């Protein structure tokens, strides 16, 4: 049994070019809006800043534990000017690793995006700074992204 379609029925069987273009345009607008809302680069930067915050707190905790165990003395002479942890004059890594922290954390920018720690076996740059004002020690992450200031003091 054959079904014969009239010319009008054949014309209504598919989509017109205008209809297809409108659908493609709407999908493009929706995809652009979604991408702007998600903003993957900002999400990555926020994740890196979260790691920086965690690392700064871990370093500050390690310093505080060291100080408590050594009658209030810090493992290094810390100046009032913020200096990189690797340039404190004395190897801070040897004083803290592995007793107070498993390894010195590296800023995500310097670690290539990989969660890494320094084990003190080589020269290093953590990307974090340290300073002291009176009895308060400050650990900061100067490489923070999107103008966020990451600095913790105890």
pLDDT one-digit tens code per residue, 85-127: 877 766 788 888 889 988 888 899 887 655 567 767 677 788 9
Tell me the whole-structure pTM to 2 decimals.
0.75
pLDDT tens by residue, 20-79: 999 999 999 999 988 888 888 999 999 999 999 999 999 999 999 999 999 988 877 788
Q: Which of 115, 106, 74 is nearest to 92 (CA)?
A: 74
The HSE-up count of residue 98 (CA atoms within 13 Å, CB side) is: 4
The 3-state secondary structure of 6-59, one letter per residue: CHHHHHCCCCCHHHHHHHHHHHHHHHHHHHHHHCHHHHHHHHHHHHHHHHHHHH
Say what the pLDDT of residue 153 is. 95
């Amino acid at each position: 049994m054959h079904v014969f379609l009239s010319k009008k029925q054949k014309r209504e069987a598919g989509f017109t070019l205008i209809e297809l273009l409108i659908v493609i345009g709407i999908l493009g607008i929706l995809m652009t809006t979604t991408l702007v809302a998600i903003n993957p680069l900002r999400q990555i930067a926020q994740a890196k800043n979260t790691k920086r915050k965690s690392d700064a707190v871990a370093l500050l905790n390690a310093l505080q534990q060291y100080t408590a165990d050594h009658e209030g003395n810090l493992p290094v002479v810390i100046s009032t000017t913020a200096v990189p942890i690797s340039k404190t004059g004395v190897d801070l890594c040897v004083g803290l690793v592995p007793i107070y922290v498993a390894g010195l954390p590296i800023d995500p920018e310097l670690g290539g995006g990989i969660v890494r720690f320094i084990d003190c076996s080589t020269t290093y740059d953590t990307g974090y700074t340290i300073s002291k004002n009176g009895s308060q020690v400050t650990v900061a992450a100067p490489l923070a992204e999107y103008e966020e200031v990451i600095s913790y003091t105890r």
